Amino acid sequence: MRKMTFVLTALLLVAVLGTAAAGERIRMGVVVKIGGIPWFNAMEEGIRKESPKQNIDAWQIGPTSADPALQVRAIEDLIAQKVDVIGVVPNDMQVLEPVLQRARSQGIKVIMHEGPEQVNKDWDFELVSVEFYAESHIKKFAELLGGEGEYGLFVGSLTVPLHNAWADVAIEYQKKNFPKMKLVADRFGVAESLDDSMRTANELMDKYPNLKGILTFGSLGPIGAGRAVLQRNKVNDVVVVGAFSAGQGQRLLEQGAIKAGYTWNPMVAGEVFCRLARMLVDGTPIVDGKVIDGMGKVSVNNDTKVILGQEVEVLDKANIQRLVDMGL
């Protein structure tokens, strides 16, 4: 009888706590926006390096295009595999809500990155706050433009939540602090495609002959815009500012086709996915002021389930080689 009671108790604990106890090996899949680009290659390397240290079997899934439906299918596959944790860098928060709800209903932990407003998550982590990141870019952009002139704005897509949050903050800050600057058109959702960014930059330069700059949120935006500016010999006429993978954009930066940007280290983001997965499964408290490796002392909002760090890298001629040497 005592043995049966012990077995029933153990089964009850498994049902309540899940199959992975503290410190036990767990499984995690991380679904990113698109596969095969340098930014997410670096994130995958971070996952590969950190997962053994955390006793995690972890892998990254990169869809062939930035299509939310492909992310849904990848998450459905992870649910079917009964993983312990799913990480996501979302393309469209609303599209993902139902499938993430299914995951959590089956006891799977959900960690977001670049999705602070995502419904049906356990936590979202950001290596830098929306305000700090966006304002850093618009301040540098305005400085390079001399505080006036026409400009264009790129984001990864019109449904990528974080890119559009950055754009909102940047536009508001520009209107308040640099009223002589003028956004020539609504934002363009092209910055996850090199070809689309290049084409749109050329179209803007054709349509707006007085265009002074392009501000872009999305790692391929500066590369495409920079190439367009370089090919048209407008390095001294059109300023391109935005985050990009250091190895991919180094030459354009050194040629002046990209002027500057701020970024966080995607390799570190991959590592943080693993560290947070371990903490969640082990039940380690995530509290305001806690030091998390790769994020520093974090700010935690328990209402929105967002963890904020303040880790940013400057993309300029003085720092670019160091980032390239790190594999970024």
Nearest by Cα to 266 from 127, 90, 132: 127
Cβ atoms of residues 140 and 312 within 8 Å: no
Residue 38 confidence (pLDDT): 86
Give the integer Cα–Cα distance in Å for 86 and 278. Answer: 12
- Strand 296-297, strand 299-301: pairing: unpaired
Nearest by Cα to 112 from 141, 89, 145: 89
Cβ atoms of residues 72 and 100 within 8 Å: no
Give the integer Cα–Cα distance in Å for 63 and 153. Answer: 25
Give the integer Cα–Cα distance in Å for 83 and 55. Answer: 14
For 1-51, the pLDDT digits (tens) are: 443 333 333 333 333 444 456 679 999 999 999 999 888 999 999 999 999
For residue 249, the one-letter residue type is: G
Residue 21 confidence (pLDDT): 60
φ, ψ for residue 226, nearest 5 deg: -60, -40
Residue 326 confidence (pLDDT): 79
Top-confidence residue, 111 or 3:
111
Query: Strand, helix or coil at 26?
Result: strand
Which residue in this structure is represented by tokens 């209107």? 175
Domains and CATH numbers, the chain: 16-127+265-310 (3.40.50.2300), 130-263 (3.40.50.2300)
Cβ atoms of residues 138 and 168 within 8 Å: no
**Cβ–Cβ contacts within 10 Å for residue 285, how many?**
7
For 249-266, the pLDDT digits (tens) are: 999 999 999 999 999 889
pLDDT above 70 covers a percentage of the chain that reads 93
Please list the residues that pair with 314 across neighbouring strands. 262
φ, ψ for residue 321, nearest 5 deg: -65, -35
Top-confidence residue, 12 or 125:
125
Structure tokens at 236: 């001294």
Give the integer Cα–Cα distance in Å for 272 and 276. Answer: 6
pTM across the whole model: 0.76
For 171-186, the pLDDT digits (tens) are: 999 999 999 999 999 9
Residue 20 confidence (pLDDT): 57
> CB neighbours of 312 closer than 8 A, spacing ≥ 6?
127, 128, 132, 133, 136, 262, 263, 264
Which residue in this structure is represented by tokens 């594999």? 327
φ, ψ for residue 19, nearest 5 deg: -85, -20
For 266-292, the pLDDT digits (tens) are: 999 999 999 999 999 999 999 999 999
Q: Give residue 132's Cα distance to chain centre.
A: 15
The angle formed by the CA atoms of residues 310, 246 and 275, to the nearest 5 degrees, is 45
Structure tokens at 308: 């904020």
210: left (phi over 0), alpha (psi -120 to 50) or beta: alpha
Nearest by Cα to 240 from 254, 223, 262: 223
What is the pLDDT of the chain when averaged over all its residues? 92
- Give the mean model confidence (pLDDT) for residues 95-121: 97
| Residue 258 DSSP symbol | S
**Is residue 56 pLDDT above 60, yes or no?**
yes
For 307-328, the pLDDT digits (tens) are: 999 878 899 999 999 999 877 8
Structure tokens at 169: 């903050």
**Is residue 53 pLDDT above 60, yes or no?**
yes
